[in-house]
Amino acid sequence: MRVITATIKTKTGLHARPAAVLVNTVSKFESEVTIAKNGKEGNLKSLLDLLSLGAEQGDRITITVDGKDEDEVIAALNRCAEEHGLW
């Protein structure tokens, strides 16, 4: 299991467009990927789960990846976050 803890940088938080980018990024992989904010958790492969967290600029999130391709998922998430200035 691998974990990323980050602070949201985007002014609009994880609204529809960046949320869709994250979901598309992790949906290609087999590992289970969850995201949590303030004790509320959701499946990062579900756009509805991600949007329901209401992650805004300055919020701390925790992403947990569990599975055989977790290293690839972490690398993809880090590239995605850097490209889109998410965290």
Place of tokens 């529809």: 16
Residues annotated as catalytic are 15
* pTM (predicted TM-score): 0.94
As a whole number, mean pLDDT of residues 59-83 equals 97
| E runs forming strands in the chain | 2-7, 32-37, 40-43, 60-66
Q: What is the pLDDT of residue 39?
A: 94
As a whole number, mean pLDDT of residues 43-61 equals 97
Q: What is the pLDDT of residue 64?
A: 98
Q: What is the pLDDT of residue 62?
A: 98
Asked if residue 65 lies in contact with residue 32, where contact means CB atoms within 8 angstroms, the answer is yes
**Cα distances (angstroms) measured from residue 38 to each of 12, 24, 44, 54, 73:** 18, 24, 16, 10, 23
As a whole number, mean pLDDT of residues 2-29 equals 95
Domains along the chain with CATH numbers: 2-84 (3.30.1340.10)
Q: What is the pLDDT of residue 53?
A: 96
SS3 43: strand
